[in-house]
Amino acid sequence: NVGFDVCIFLSSRYTWEAIDSEKGIHYKINLCQSIDCGVPSAICAYDVSKKTNQSVGDFALNSSAGNHIEFNTTKKCSDQSTQPVQSSINFLCGKTLGTPEFITVSECVHYFEWKTFGACKKSTFKPQKEVPCYVFDEDWKKRDLNPLIKTSGGYLVSSPDDDDLYINICRDIGGSSGNTSSCIAGSSACLLKGSVAYDVGQPAEGLKLVGKDRLVLHYTKPHAETKNPVFCGIHQPAVTITLICPSGRRQGAEPQLITSTNCRYEIEWITEYACPKDYLESHSCILNNTQHNIDIDLTPLKLTDGSPPYVTRSSDGTDEYYYYLNVCGEVKAGNCNDQRGFVSSCQVKHDGTLSKVAGRFQNQTLRYSDGDLTLTYTDGNS
């Protein structure tokens, strides 16, 4: 039985993509509506060099349990094998809609992982509206803006105008406190005129690539919803956000309002998040890229056995927690050891009654973008 309905949050109108960069295989994935791949397929593999398609997951041949879905095919792995070609997708809890990530192929089974709010037990990160927030460029390099998505609140657009324009990336601004608390539910672009908030745009479609280093989002106002703001007259509000990958390394910049005419807002944002993902990230403690003069090594921060852990404290408004941390290595404090191991972050309730693994270094990501260095641990306990 299906553990959760992926089509509740994965619209059938979006065909997703993933890539095996080593073998040059480009996957198209649609779990809610079949795609043509010789046969009606859910997962179609395109060999870039051979220019051939093959279904590695037929749409009708699926089974699921919990947050895991498998797709079979009628094609055998080889003439000597009875094992069919298959695909396996494991869904994990994430803060955004996320993207499917190719993991490996083993014995003709294609493995994918997908971190998404749809796999979370609680609805903490569920938005009113979100669209796919990544593209593959002409070199099959992934451009991924998911790290820019705010789960609440928005970015203030730099502007000479007296009014404040806030935007979120690929997602509605969501329930928040502070300046955006009055923004209308569902809006991804919110204009504040004094104490009054106006919805001037919601995501109309997913992220698009419009040039070598230019990504574009279009936000519009649904016709069926509330009337246009009076100051727009007969014009329908719309927002275009162009995100530009800079030619060289630089510190982060704010989104800039370029023009605003007849309630149409043109925004540009120069950010390294618009650059290919592979030179922004590594999955070790070292990140270097000679082209961009980067040489980062966090291994000196790794604590050895017997050293006291790094500790920080936080509160969710009700309970207080301590986090015991190590950098790129295991942490023993907090009693978070389990059979899986690789624990780098341990969350402990202040009274000691509860401890949870908050992240493992086995699948960590080290990212350097817009002058910020971020180390992310995943696969914590639910």
The string of DSSP letters for 276-337 reads: -GGGTEESSSEEEEGGGTEEEE-GGGPPPTTSPPEEEEEE-SS-EEEEEE-SSS---TTS--
Amino acid 294: pLDDT: 80
Residue 138 lies in a domain: no
**Residue 35's domain is classified under what CATH number?**
2.70.130.10
Per-chain mean pLDDT for the chain: 89
**How many domains does the chain fold into?**
3
DSSP E strands, 16-65 = 16-20, 25-29, 35-36, 40-47, 52-58, 62-65
Please state, in angstroms and as integers, the Cα–Cα distance from residue 293 to each residue in 143, 221, 235, 261, 375, following that order.
20, 43, 47, 41, 19
Residue 140 lies in a domain: no
Last residue of a domain, one of 274, 308, 334: 274
Average pLDDT for 136-151: 93
User: Is residue 258 over pLDDT 60?
Assistant: yes
Residue 141 lies in a domain: no
User: Is residue 2 over pLDDT 50?
Assistant: no
pTM: 0.83
Per the CB < 8 A criterion, the answer to whether 178 and 105 are in contact is no
Residues 368 and 303 in one domain: yes
**What 8-state DSSP symbol labels residue 231?**
G
Average pLDDT for 278-291: 79
Residues 111 and 197 in one domain: no
User: Is residue 290 over pLDDT 80?
Assistant: no
Residue 321 lies in a domain: yes
Q: How confident is the model at residue 224 (pLDDT cuts 50, 70, 90)?
A: low
Per the CB < 8 A criterion, the answer to whether 262 and 232 are in contact is yes
Amino acid 291: pLDDT: 59
C-alpha angle 304-310-311 in degrees, rounded to nearest 5: 150
- The least confident of 12-21, 56-65, 212-221, 367-376 is 367-376
User: Is residue 382 over pLDDT 80?
Assistant: no
Check residues 2 and 76 and name the one with the higher pLDDT. 76
Residues 313 and 194 in one domain: no
| Rg value, the chain, Cα | 23
Q: How far apart are CA 4 and CA 179, in angstroms?
A: 35
Residues 153 and 103 in one domain: no
Please state, in angstroms and as integers, the Cα–Cα distance from residue 78 to each residue in 72, 82, 83, 108, 184, following that order.
15, 8, 8, 9, 56
User: Is residue 250 over pLDDT 50?
Assistant: yes
What is the token pair recorded at 299? Answer: 């291994």
User: Is residue 346 over pLDDT 60?
Assistant: yes
Residue 1 lies in a domain: no
> pLDDT tens for residues 306-334?
889 999 998 877 889 999 999 999 998 88
> pLDDT tens for residues 148-205?
999 989 999 998 888 999 999 999 997 777 889 999 889 999 999 988 999 999 998 9
Q: Please give the residue range of the domain that contains residue 302.
A: 281-287+295-378
Per the CB < 8 A criterion, the answer to whether 97 and 35 are in contact is no
Amino acid 1: pLDDT: 34
Per the CB < 8 A criterion, the answer to whether 44 and 55 are in contact is yes
Q: How confident is the model at residue 127 (pLDDT cuts 50, 70, 90)?
A: very high
Indicate the Cα dihedral angle 30, 35, 38, 39, nearest 10°.
Answer: 80
